[in-house]
Amino acid sequence: MERLKADAIHLANWKDTASALAARFGELASDYDRSGEFVFANYEALREARFFSIGVPAELGGGGASHEEVCDSTRLLAQGCGSTALAFAMHSHPVGLNVFKYKRGDSKAEQTLRRIAEKELVIAGTGANDWLESSGHAEKVEGGYRVTATKHFVSGAPGANVLVTSSVTESDQGPEIIHFSVPFNSDGIRIENNWDTLGMRATGSNDVILDNVFVPDAAVVARRPRGVWHPVWDAILPIAMPIIVAAYTGLAEQAYGLIVHQAQKAKDQESLVGEATNALTSAQIALKDMIRLCNNYQFQPDKGLTNSILVRKTLATKAVQQVIELGASMIGGPGFFKGHAMERLIRDSRAMHFHPLPERRQVAFTGQYVTEHASLYS
């Protein structure tokens, strides 16, 4: 894969930088998609632009971008390369969680953010894929744990420095989940080269194997009972989901640009353009409201807020996929060929379903929550 030129970018703000980077990434998106190779050159460009620390508060050495600016930057990156934007989103939301903790006086989070800014560290995580049950086994040893596990869908792993994940251990109260971070260069960690998928092919979301990896006690940031809802998700999801949804909204905006361009060449396509405009607006409104609910990390974690975020994620998913399906109809046959941007957008957008929660699980979650809290809705 051709290496992107390392010319420095000096622009007014993160959005301008994201747009400039997206234009460069778009030139290689088809090649990366065809090969399935991880977007190493794009990650290098993001690092040179200090994008991996944009969300770190300025007083800790970062870019000082707000949660909304991180979301907007992710959305703009996706207009060039969806895989790069999604991998970046999966790095950015653990950073955002640490900002949330830092704003509440967490000294560990402050130390983590300072290290990210100082070294432009890149994170890859497994949180939502492990969900309530997690996986693997963490055996308690002197000074920490020995963890053996196989972690799936670790987006951005080939370009990351730190793995953020969880595993199962035994406690006096029964099975317990520990959440921790560990450097990728630790003894016993290896990345499989097994990410060969329908869409988002360049995210490098390979399996990561932990073979008797030592995790010191100091690296454990949270503990929770296995298999039951825990308030940690009420902190993670309002931060993470808007950033992830932003990546897919950027795909819809890329598709919409193709739709408008095609409409200028074709006749009698106004109704399709109108439908696409409605659908894109729906996706953008859902995303904007998710960002509002996060309130630049000034939210109070609550299951009701989490439910609201998950509902909006489903609405955004439907709207994004509607825009792209309309684009496919409008472009027609040429968009069915490999190498055409619309063909890639169709495949990349399918991955949006898998982020928490897939629609059927979200509907069940929401139905249970509303039924249990009926007094709030009557």
Report residues of the chain scoring pLDDT below 50.
1-11
Among candidate residues 121, 150, 175, the one where a domain is terminated: 121
Of 154, 21, 5, residue with least CA distance to 81: 21
Among candidate residues 121, 147, 163, the one where a domain is terminated: 121
Return the pLDDT at 6: 38
Residues 116 and 134 grouped into a single domain: no
* Residue 251 structural domain: 232-376
Residues 241 and 218 grouped into a single domain: no
Q: Is 104 among the domain residues?
A: yes
Distances (CA, A) of 283 to 34, 66, 91, 175, 252: 28, 21, 23, 40, 8
pTM of the model: 0.95
Q: Is 266 among the domain residues?
A: yes
Return the pLDDT at 59: 97
Residues 138 and 176 grouped into a single domain: yes
Can you list the alpha helix ranges (DSSP code H) found in the chain? 14-35, 40-48, 67-78, 82-102, 107-119, 127-130, 232-265, 270-294, 303-331, 341-349, 359-372
* Terminal Cα distance for the chain, rounded: 58
Q: Is 171 among the domain residues?
A: yes
Number of independent structural domains in the chain: 3
Residues 140 and 252 grouped into a single domain: no
Query: φ, ψ for residue 195 (rounded to 5)?
Result: -90, 100
Q: Is 6 among the domain residues?
A: no
Return the pLDDT at 266: 78
258: Cβ contacts below 8 Å, ≥ 6 apart? 327, 331, 341, 342
Is the CA virtual torsion 27, 29, 30, 35 positive or negative?
positive
